[in-house]
Structure formats: C-alpha cells, structure tokens
Amino acid sequence: MDESERVADVEDVPEGETLLFTVRDDEGALGEAFLTQLSDGTVVAYRNYCRHWTDVRLDTGEGARVTNGEVWCRRHGATFQLDTGYCDFGPCEGSMMEEVDVTVADGGVYLDDEEYAFEHLGPSGADTDEGGGSRIDFTGS
C-alpha cells in the first residue's frame, strides 16, 4: 500500500465514534471524510456532510453524534446507518451518504478511492455553515 494514503492505524479508528480526515479531489478542492469502525470490526468511511444541506458537517471536528450504529445530523436530526450509509430518518430520508473507499492492510487504514487523495487527519479548514448562518427553510425541514 502507498504510505502517503495511510489515514490512520486501525487501532486508532473508534467504534461508535468518528475520526475526521481531510481529502483533496482531482480538481484540488479540499473536503472532509470520516472513518468509523463497525461492531464487527469493519472500517468504513463517508464524506462528512448531510445529504439535506451539503454544507452542514456531520463531524464538526470533535466527533459526530453516533448512537445505535447511526450518525446524526445535528442540524436536521437526520440519521444515517453507518453500515450502509442509508438515511432512515429526517428531511433526506432515503438518500445515501457518499462512501469513500478505504482498505485495511498491515495494521493501517488506507484511502483507496480514485477520486480523492489523503491530506491529513482533522478538519479541512474550509468554510462551512457551522453556526447556523441566516438560511431559512420554508419547508419546515
């Protein structure tokens, strides 16, 4: 495996929590993703945004809210199953989180997605709508 794509040691990927990391796409734009370990030991990664409003991060840098195998959107209350990425509640119900391909090998987790290159652990530093902004949603969602 390419060591430049090593995101973390597998033992550092939490079960029932998220580990935030930054990726760069083919056009050079920074984005975020998070790793988590499922109860069966499988490691999965998803892009770090809600499918309802894609500028809303699920992991704000201190770990996403995860309960009963689901990650929550703190803004909308939407819940996504970590094993499948499926949204089973909220304004984006029926949508899927964007999966990021990773491989576990030699005690590490490696980014294995042709669309992204690993940059670093932690947030991207890109602007997001964290504080609530002034957006109004007239649909009640």
137 occurs within a structural domain: no
pLDDT band at 125 (very low <50, low <70, confident <90, very high): confident
CATH number of domain containing 26: 2.102.10.10
Residue whose C-alpha is closest to residue 121's, from 16, 2, 32: 32
Enclosing domain of residue 24: 3-64+98-121
Contact predicate 85/99, CB 8 Å: yes
76 occurs within a structural domain: no
pLDDT band at 127 (very low <50, low <70, confident <90, very high): low
79 occurs within a structural domain: no
46 occurs within a structural domain: yes
Question: How many distinct structural domains can be found in the chain?
Answer: 1
140 occurs within a structural domain: no
12 occurs within a structural domain: yes
Please report the pLDDT score of residue 1 as a whole number: 82
